Structure 1
Amino acid sequence: MSGTAVSDDHFRPEKSPYDHRDYKYLTLDNGLRVILVHDEQAIHSAAAVGVNAGHFQDPEEMQGLAHFLEHMLFMGTAKYPQPSDYGDFISQHGGHHNAWTGTEHTSFYFDIQPEYFSAALDRFSQFFIAPLFEQKWIDKELQAVESEYRMKLTDELRRLYQVHKETANPEHPFTKFSVGNAHTLADSDQQTTAQRLRQFFSDWYKAEHLSLVLAGPQSLSELQQLATEWFSVIPEGGAELNYPQVPLYTEQQLGVRIHVRPLKQACRLILSFPFPSINDDYPYKTTSFLAHILGYEGQGSICAELRQRGWATALSAGGGVSGSNFKDFNFNIQLTENGLEQIDEVICLIFNGIALVKEHGLKKHYYAERQQMIGLAFRFQEGIRTLDLASQLAINMLHYEPEHSITGDYLMRNLNIDKAHELLQVMQPEKARVTLIHQSLPVNQTTELYETAYSIHDIDEEKLAYYASPLENSNLRLPPANPFIPERQNPLPLREPVRHKPALVPSVASLQAWHLQDAQFRVPKGHLYLSLSLPHATVRRSAFACSRLWCELVLDKLNERCYDAEIAGINFNLYPQQSGISIHLSGFSEQQPALLSRILSELTNFEFAEQHFNAIQHSLYHNWLAVNRHKPINHLFTILNQELQRGCFTAQGLASAMPEITEDFFRQQLPILFSDMNVRMLIHGDWPVETARHLTSLVTQKLRLKRQPAQGPLREVRLLEPGKRELNYSYLPHPDKAVALFCQGQSQSVVEKASFLLLNHLVSPGFFSQLRTEQQLGYMVGSSYVPMNGRPGLLFYVQSPHAELATMESAIDQFIQQFCEQLPTLDNDSWEDAKQSVLTHLEDKDPSLRIRAQRLWTSIGIEDYNFDLADKLAAEVSRISLQQLVQFAVERMLQSASSMFLTCEPIKETEDTPEDD
């Protein structure tokens, strides 16, 4: 069969010399393009299909159809008619699946244990061969799409996106309603929804419009046989691709100023320019290069100048919507209130920066620097999960030439001067779209969908001329040579003896430093993790708010002074966590010690500018007020953590503490916060032990660590009383209601954790199928394993735009009752499959240095100093019998459940009053 269903079009795509996988590109006789990936290290096999059609192909009279079709393909096929047939099979055998719909593409993907790959492909391929589109499931899934639409009614990005659509060219398919709802997808007088679905499927879900990736430990010949066996029957033909023929904006929609009034406090500027399609420029990455040089954040940059003048706190360049005939190039700027008042000067400064790049920035050495870093990123790219690789390649096949399916994201051949001049020529005031987002702005109309208040008007000639003029006292200059670009491009030699687990490095008692020179991932990279346990930062919310404010102030300084390190492949982050502050450095290892020294110096330098303090305090306060206030489920998750974990505070509680944090109060608190510090550290990468000792000494000196350990913060979890259910009610300005049930483990034992892992695996598919697919209670439905400081638990949640709280609570209770009743009837094969699926995840090999570092750091955080918790859990999972799990499920979820029910319902918001803890 494989000999007759594959054309002669097959070859090996270009790949990195450090990529251990083997690839093969081929075309089946029906025109389906396929990439096969043999990865002998893969634990899972994965498949992905890309579709060269998205919501741009929606008929005008039924917008959202492409997205709805994506949903409906999961709702049964001729060979496997039950909607649960596919998802349950994937979940039962240790896999995951998902899909998404974009403007011009759609993607479907899954992974699974390799021995079940063929059977899963049988089910998966039927999506593209014989979907049923049964009326029963059309009616039910319409409710799901309606729920998805309503869930996003208060989502600020979706509301802003709708303003974008309504101020673009109405003849362009970008302006269509991509999500759809019960109204746009209802039967029409001309055609039913089912007829439209079948027509869309017939037009676009044909072999020549699809791409397929199969990846796993199977050989290339085995994968080719699977591709041929299951996908050769996808029919040829289909509609001709109808790329947009009109521009994204009319002339009247350029040189305009748009005001958007958000629901939450925001102060942003988006300055957009309408580039033509950049798809054919991917070998040169001209747009990426311009974004790199215009979005530079070091001294002399547009961003640095804006921050120095107190007009903005952050800037990014280059993002924006893109497609087959358009690309928005955006400057996205987080303004201060002062910046909003000086908005014309802000815009003028940006155009001054553009003029500087036009005149002096198109130099080969600037491009070569970026080219070098992209080349290193490609050569030493991080390993990714087989599932992520498959889904990424399937879409790449629709964008790039076949030989560039892997390399297309990294190609930078040379500076395309003509293209650069063409794009920079577009960046003129009369072609700009200035979007301002703030609650105080005057508006005069409302979008048809999402009810976003906005206005749009022309920018007058006088302002256009001002924007093009030089700004007084400007200190703009182009970036200097980057001192952080690594010279060493090979990993440091391995030192004997080779270890596979971290070991402690001798240090003072208040520093616990672990080191591992990785023997498997031989790349010149590393990860440095530091956790600064600050007992005084978690005693009350004002102290924790100070620690968060300090993190932001330090980052504000470091973002400018260390930006060169970031664009040279060294990423850093500083963030508050439950017990204090954490620091993470990652990327190329050569310059990380120097960067860590600089960061630690800033961390203990308690000097800051008053205007930066005020701007960041203001930003944090309003961000905290807004967090989760329009996301009921996320709000419940936050409440759960705050209720059960010491040192956790709600965002609204932190906001309420902010008024007492004056500049003087803050200065007084900092020395107290950083006293009695304990530090944990992980040094993982290609560094030998001598470097680890140097870094340990550096941390000790810079942080002035004591030789005696201080009292660390207590990592307490409040225990719920067995057999009693606690209730927690809250309210949000969101139309949806939400319910969550948390069942807490009664010990931190390995058997307790292993049992909850098995329970979660068995519960999840049925819970989603029953409450989401069958009962259609809401779009967000699920369950998850939730450990809190070593104590396991199981969380069930539902968010709904229409169901009552009592209905959702009852549905969760009924499901748990039925699950416990049916669990003893589970057949032996299904039980063994469930155990094997959990074991596969526990025994999953680290795919990259990054994932291994995360795992090791997590182990240190939970005091698993033997780094073998996964092995212990696997051994316990193997030992547990079905009878033991049945008894455990009844006790933990019914008879003696230590549980908390959390609910959230709508309330009309009258003012931004923070909630108390």
Structure 2
Amino acid sequence: MPALNHPRLHTETLANGLRVTLRHAPDLKRCAAALRVAAGSHDVPLAWPGLAHFLEHLLFLGTERFPAEQGLMAYVQGHGGQVNARTSERTTDFFFELPPQAFRGGLERLSDMLAHPRMNPDDQRREREVLHAEFVAWSRDATAQQQFALFDGLSAAHPLRAFHAGNRYSLPVPQPEFQQALKGFYQQFYQTGQMTLSLAGPQSLDELKAMAQAFAVAITHGEKVPQTKPTLLMGSSDNSYQQAGERRLDLLFAFEALPDSSPEALAFLCHWLNTEKPGGLLAQLREHGLAENLKAAPLYHYAGQALLHIEFTRPARATQPDKIIRERLLDWLGFFASHQDWAELRDEYAALLQRQQQVSSALQLARRDSEQLEAGLSEQGVVALKAILKQIGAVDNFTGQWQLPTPNPFLRAETPASNAGLIRGQTSAHRGLRTFAQDRSRSRRERSPMQFSQALPDNTDEGAIYLRWRLEFAPHNRLQSNLENNLRMLREDARQAGVDFSFSASGNEWLLKMTGLQEPMPTVLEHALKELTNPDADFSQKEPASIALMPIRQLLKALPDLCLEHTVASDDLQQLWSSARWDGLATGLSAQTQAAMGFALSRIPGTADSQLTPPPSIRSQHLWSTFATESSEHALLLFCPTATHDIADEAAWRLLAHVCQTPFYQRLRVELQLGYAVFSGLRQLNGQTGLLFGVQSPSVAPLDLLEHIEQFLSELEGMIDRIDEATFIAQRQALADQFDNTALPNAQAAELLWQGKLAGHLSDYLKHLPQAILMIDREALLAAAQRLNRADGGWRCLASGPCSGTPWQVAK
């Protein structure tokens, strides 16, 4: 394994007052910018709730220099990046991530939209309706309302108790007083003294600084503006309160006059509160039937004030009173406080944060830098933690048999076995499990059930492993829930050590997926397989608890499962494993890591099978599935697969998606104002490439949403014809550049390789894909648009409403 190339962080204030943090991280393949404005919803005049959020939206509507179709959002999406913004109580954040060659263009657009917002009345009226749609969805969402209700125990005078969402009634655009307040808020806060720009990327610090200076040229100079300090959190001498609901107990602790390092102290405390390991608070609560889950998180922090929320999920038939939970919590906090400076816990916490930084994206690093968080618990943080525990009332006097959590085994590097190059325990069922050191033949690798791909370099810290089982029966939801529950603690240990893994079921298939640091992967894989095949696992009979998601997210979660064939469900674990056939892909792994995987690979249940089955085709069919979201909002997904698995078809579909993305958003969200959740793009599901269109609307029914999408697609050929040749060539090149190995993050590249394997492509798929994209000329793209509208590859609709009739048929 290569040694960690430590990123260099530099902080300074430019001559014009802009504070910048610059992170030189040479291993990053992308660059990111996070711009924090020290102004949020609590800084708005009381007469105009939602004004700060409204202004955030308006800034994305384009400028004279960069209209909306050339602005930051369209530019970032066109280069395969990601972009968003967020308005909080006292801050507003704008952030994006791009390939290095496109980064300057992104910064240029961010600077221009902040410095020269257009904000004309027509744009304001349209965007106010988008905010109103968000408000309607928020007001109907039980989870959002529950979150808002958590503040009911605070002082009525504190701004956390006020309404800040914004809607068409709180944002009277035509009124001169409102326009004056909007302009005044912008002029007061959107200037250099209120801003922090954080940049992260592989460029040198000098290059990053030059980009920061160029960004700052257009921004209005200004001094730091003192933000008004709020009143006390609590209206009485109490510093905590609780709320009880069905199977739920919320405890909230309010803090005043905390030291500056309290955010890092609260993060440290919440981390150890949330641990599920034996001897901890949650383990004991479960043992005594008091709670099933616990989640501790800070809800608010500003000017020495903080609000800590601890949510307990109660068993269905809990009999003991809520006060017992509070007593146990305070007892555990007393035990925790008794450890003085928490030396061992601080060491482990610093190690896991370092691991997380090692696998963080450029965007994650830039956003963390903008928040100015410490990488651990500093000495000042220890002082703040003691102040927090004192205000809670935790004293060094406890009665429970508590113990500190056992160290995370994956945070310590293990010495590989001397014979690690041998695959121990291999049987005829596992024939073909070879490392590249053992088998240099590409043809044999392509036919192996575990394919060790050399498509990605093996000299980096990161790698990926995919294991798929094709089953005779579909796993029962109850069984799947229990398997995921058994993996929960292991998954958290792995995440802390830099390995994200999931175990998911779709149709008659199981998928185990790992991405992140390759060093711990062999050990994590071995532990995961042991848990998954444990015949003594405790499988409860209760149905899994559903997680409340917005309707469009529920549809997105359900879509992959609908694209696979199903048989009857089984909850017999041994039966499922005995008939399972498996194959897999590992990429980015060094020879040492491949060799260390030998023992884990020998434990894979089922029969190794390198015979791929193509994804099921729905050619020329119109299939409709109805999904009950239990929401008053309407949602619809339209998935349009390619007619073949040929790489030329995929390239054409990718270019169609690239060309459609901004116009589709502009038409359905901005012009028609159908809803705030509007998107389109290319998706690969179980090896099947397709165009995906999605809309969620508070008022427009699914059949009408589909009609709008169909109308857009019917005009697609004309839209392609109107693209001038220079723009067409530039868009095609920008898309091809997204698959350049030097700019493609490892996890994203691994997912593409896995989807390519499922589609039957060879391991050089990623090399040929950008070449195939560059071969698509206008005529080929028009032909692809015709195939799309004829539904040559079929159309699959998943909606919150019933089927529309011919040509649609209900999916089985």
Same fold (TM over 0.5): yes
Question: What's 1:879 paired with?
Answer: 775
- Residue aligned with 2:219, SS: coil
Question: What's 1:358 paired with?
Answer: 337
Determine whether 1:763 maps to 2:742: no
Aligned partner (choices 303, 306, 310) of residue 331 of structure 1: 310
Amino acid at match of 1:633: I
Question: What's 1:554 paired with?
Answer: 486
For residues 333 and 741 of structure 1, what CA distance do their matches in structure 2 show? 38
Question: What's 2:452 paired with?
Answer: 514
Aligned partner (choices 301, 308, 314) of residue 322 of structure 1: 301
Determine whether 1:842 maps to 2:779: no
Aligned partner (choices 248, 255, 270) of residue 268 of structure 1: 248
The within-5 A match list for 1:700-849 is 700=602, 702-703=603-604, 705=606, 709=609, 716-721=615-620, 725-728=622-625, 732-805=629-702, 807-845=704-742
The within-5 A match list for 1:13-162 is 18-19=4-5, 25-36=11-22, 46-80=32-66, 85-111=71-97, 120-162=106-148
Shift of residue 877 of structure 1? 0.9
For residues 780 and 744 of structure 2, what CA distance do their matches in structure 1 show? 34
**Is contact 2:78-2:731 (8 Å) kept?**
yes
Shift of residue 195 of structure 1? 2.3
For residues 566 and 638 of structure 1, what CA distance do their matches in structure 2 show? 22
- Residue aligned with 1:842, SS: coil
For residues 219 and 366 of structure 1, what CA distance do their matches in structure 2 show? 35
Please give the per-residue CA displacement for 1:882-903, whole angstroms capped at 9, x wherever unaligned. 1111122123225857324454
For residues 254 and 642 of structure 1, what CA distance do their matches in structure 2 show? 47
> Are residues 684 and 280 of structure 1, via their aligned partners in 2, closer, same or farther at CA, if it must alter by over 3 Å?
farther
Amino acid at match of 1:552: E
Determine whether 1:867 maps to 2:763: yes
Question: What's 2:576 paired with?
Answer: 673
Shift of residue 183 of structure 1? 1.5
For residues 901 and 798 of structure 1, what CA distance do their matches in structure 2 show? 12
Unaligned runs of 5+ in 1: 1-15, 262-266, 401-407, 430-466, 650-656, 907-914
Shift of residue 299 of structure 1? 1.7
- Residue aligned with 1:269, SS: strand
Number of aligned residues = 791
- Residue aligned with 1:536, SS: coil
For residues 331 and 683 of structure 1, what CA distance do their matches in structure 2 show? 40
Please give the per-residue CA displacement for 1:587-634, whole angstroms capped at 9, x wherever unaligned. 66666555544443333332245xx714xx24x0x41xx665xx3323
Question: What's 2:327 paired with?
Answer: 348
**Is contact 2:624-2:811 (8 Å) kept?**
no
Amino acid at match of 1:281: S
- Residue aligned with 2:139, SS: coil
For residues 67 and 455 of structure 2, what CA distance do their matches in structure 1 show? 52
Structure 1 vs Structure 2 CA RMSD: 4.3
For residues 825 and 55 of structure 1, what CA distance do their matches in structure 2 show? 42
Determine whether 1:536 maps to 2:467: no
- Residue aligned with 1:674, SS: helix
Shift of residue 684 of structure 1? 5.7
**Is contact 2:99-2:743 (8 Å) kept?**
no
Please give the per-residue CA displacement for 1:152-202, whole angstroms capped at 9, x wherever unaligned. 23333311121023332222222232321112212597x543222211101
Please give the per-residue CA displacement for 1:106-130, whole angstroms capped at 9, x wherever unaligned. 1223455666655554443222222
Amino acid at match of 2:90: E
> Are residues 516 and 351 of structure 1, via their aligned partners in 2, closer, same or farther at CA, if it must alter by over 3 Å?
farther
> Are residues 423 and 490 of structure 1, via their aligned partners in 2, closer, same or farther at CA, if it must alter by over 3 Å?
farther
**Is contact 1:277-1:323 (8 Å) kept?**
no
Amino acid at match of 1:576: A
> Are residues 235 and 503 of structure 1, via their aligned partners in 2, closer, same or farther at CA, if it must alter by over 3 Å?
farther
Question: What's 2:431 paired with?
Answer: none
**Is contact 2:472-2:576 (8 Å) kept?**
yes
For residues 204 and 142 of structure 1, what CA distance do their matches in structure 2 show? 21
> Are residues 503 and 597 of structure 1, via their aligned partners in 2, closer, same or farther at CA, if it must alter by over 3 Å?
farther
Amino acid at match of 1:69: L
Question: What's 1:911 paired with?
Answer: none
Please give the per-residue CA displacement for 1:793-846, whole angstroms capped at 9, x wherever unaligned. 212222222335554333323222222113123211111111111101122436
Shift of residue 211 of structure 1? 2.0
For residues 37 and 566 of structure 1, what CA distance do their matches in structure 2 show? 23
- Residue aligned with 1:328, SS: strand
> Are residues 638 and 364 of structure 1, via their aligned partners in 2, closer, same or farther at CA, if it must alter by over 3 Å?
closer
For residues 677 and 615 of structure 2, what CA distance do their matches in structure 1 show? 30
Range moving further from structure 2, 412-421 or 874-883: 412-421
Determine whether 1:600 maps to 2:529: yes
Amino acid at match of 2:233: L
Determine whether 1:306 maps to 2:285: yes
> Are residues 602 and 506 of structure 1, via their aligned partners in 2, closer, same or farther at CA, if it must alter by over 3 Å?
farther
Determine whether 1:384 maps to 2:361: yes
Question: What's 1:645 paired with?
Answer: 564
Please give the per-residue CA displacement for 1:501-530, whole angstroms capped at 9, x wherever unaligned. 9989999x996363779865454x765543
Determine whether 1:247 maps to 2:232: yes
Question: What's 1:476 paired with?
Answer: 402
Unaligned runs of 5+ in 2: 422-434, 803-809
Please give the per-residue CA displacement for 1:241-263, whole angstroms capped at 9, x wherever unaligned. 224242222226645332346xx
For residues 470 and 40 of structure 1, what CA distance do their matches in structure 2 show? 48
**Is contact 1:535-1:676 (8 Å) kept?**
yes
> Are residues 84 and 277 of structure 1, via their aligned partners in 2, closer, same or farther at CA, if it must alter by over 3 Å?
farther
For residues 260 and 26 of structure 2, what CA distance do their matches in structure 1 show? 35
Amino acid at match of 1:753: E
Range moving further from structure 2, 244-253 or 40-49: 40-49
Please give the per-residue CA displacement for 1:638-695, whole angstroms capped at 9, x wherever unaligned. 565454421499xxxxxxx8xxx9xxxx5xx222111122333455676645x64563
- Residue aligned with 2:679, SS: strand
Aligned partner (choices 182, 201, 204) of residue 186 of structure 2: 201
**Is contact 1:503-1:515 (8 Å) kept?**
no
Question: What's 2:260 paired with?
Answer: 280
**Is contact 2:23-2:205 (8 Å) kept?**
yes
For residues 369 and 21 of structure 1, what CA distance do their matches in structure 2 show? 20
Question: What's 2:597 paired with?
Answer: 695
**Is contact 1:502-1:516 (8 Å) kept?**
no
For residues 833 and 671 of structure 1, what CA distance do their matches in structure 2 show? 55
Question: What's 2:385 paired with?
Answer: 420
Please give the per-residue CA displacement for 1:850-885, whole angstroms capped at 9, x wherever unaligned. 555555555555454x42222222111111111111
Shift of residue 734 of structure 1? 2.3
**Is contact 2:464-2:589 (8 Å) kept?**
no
Shift of residue 847 of structure 1? 6.3
For residues 704 and 92 of structure 1, what CA distance do their matches in structure 2 show? 43
Amino acid at match of 1:344: K
Amino acid at match of 1:77: T
**Percent identity among equivalent residues?**
23
- Residue aligned with 2:578, SS: coil
Question: What's 2:551 paired with?
Answer: 632
> Are residues 340 and 246 of structure 1, via their aligned partners in 2, closer, same or farther at CA, if it must alter by over 3 Å?
farther
**Is contact 1:74-1:83 (8 Å) kept?**
no
For residues 903 and 237 of structure 1, what CA distance do their matches in structure 2 show? 50
